[in-house]
Structure 1
């Protein structure tokens, strides 16, 4: 499914874009298709599990949601390896994320509650981020794209800051506290949950640094005085 959408993006949706932008836009499109549905599916998978907890066994529907996200990350990883192999940050992110999903799905068969909650926190901003990214690609040659980029930037940055900078760390703290208590030692080996926590803390730290830089860029754009005004 994701490959079909990715191919359609290249051949139909973004066929008039330059090759470099077309590759990036195709990646954004499959991210759009993955992000919001993944949030909805993960919410349903969690709420439908009456025994949900950091050490609970994965339900069939939770497993399906994990597989859905694994499919997306595998394809997007292939995209980066083929078209943008120098982007080690995204490649590393995708490999680390796949490690978490695959160990939860195929190795320990427990802990999907925590992993899916993290997926929700990661993807709840996906729609806004991908629309913002697409507008950013074309803002220099499209007035509409520039307007969308300018209008979306502050609310998107604010939402991203709250989710990644506040709710994310709070949830990871609760997750870490549970694992340190030994509540999952019988079903999830220590090296697995330590790896999960390490991946998540690294991802959140990079996200906070990324949004901090976006706020700085926004502040710089809003405070720069146009040349025609300087000469008046």
Structure 2
């Protein structure tokens, strides 16, 4: 629990730095989103390395193994970030029920794994790695998209990042994520987690993850549609 009192103030401070210093000259309409991206930069890539290191520290651990201290530290790190970002959405985007629901569901998975059952962090952190693998690229893309209409460099960066970001995101969320969830389902349904992770807990984990992946696939599909529509429109203008 003491890690939360270290990590949460850290993310809160980073958010304030982003809002009042780094993006102080940005429009008030997009400053909150930019500050949210700023703390996401501080969480995403570090979480990938920290979670990977914690998982690889003992390669023989399974999806129902007791949590190790490094694994618990990574969970606390992510709990602090998602709590801070949840406050951001409640303060600035209270109508964005999709992201608020996503953060609440994610926190439910992390908190139950960390403080209720104290087992299964290997599976949860593997999902975290996949979820945050595209984080840095996504945040850069989001910031570029926010300023593409008034900054030429942002528009160029947005155009440059979109295809590789969409492709990587599609592979991670559309292929690797479902494969990992399938392995989790097979493991938990085999009964190997009986006695350490109650059925209602692992079932709720699977439901939350499947819903998150489904929304992610729908989101990236819509972005691909928008991408090809924009490219088709540009080609038509050149022809005419």
TM-score normalised by L of structure 1: 0.97
Deviations 1:137-162 (A, max 9, x none): 00000000000000100000000000
Shift of 1:52: 1.4
Is 1:137 the counterpart of 2:146? The answer is yes
For residues 191-230 of structure 1, what are the structure 2 equivalents within 5 Å?
A: 191-225=200-234, 229=238
Shift of 1:37: 0.1
Quick one: distance in 2 between partners of 1:148 and 1:99?
Answer: 35
2:49 corresponding residue in structure 1: 40
1:118 corresponding residue in structure 2: 127
For residues 161-200 of structure 1, what are the structure 2 equivalents within 5 Å?
A: 161-200=170-209
Quick one: distance in 1 between partners of 2:128 and 2:170?
Answer: 16
Q: What is the alpha-carbon root mean square deviation over aligned residues?
A: 1.2
Shift of 1:20: 1.6
Shift of 1:124: 0.2
For residues 22-37 of structure 1, what are the structure 2 equivalents within 5 Å?
A: 22-37=31-46
Gaps of 5+ in 1: none
2:4 corresponding residue in structure 1: none
Q: What secondary structure, in the 3-state scheme, does the structure 2 residue paired with 1:20 have? A: coil
Equivalent position to 1:70, from 79, 87, 94: 79
Quick one: distance in 1 between partners of 2:238 and 2:140?
Answer: 32
Gaps of 5+ in 2: 1-9
Quick one: distance in 2 between partners of 1:97 and 1:194?
Answer: 14
Shift of 1:49: 2.2
More displaced stretch, 49-58 vs 82-91: 49-58
The list of structure 1 runs, each at least 4 consecutive aligned residues, that deviate by more than 3 angstroms after superposition, is: 225-230
Quick one: distance in 1 between partners of 2:52 and 2:237?
Answer: 51
Deviations 1:184-205 (A, max 9, x none): 0110000000000000000000
Sort the Cα spacing of 1:227 and 1:202 in 2 relative to 1 into closer, same or farther, 3 A.
Answer: closer
TM-score normalised by L of structure 2: 0.94
- Is 1:49–1:59's contact at 8 Å kept on the other side of the alignment? no
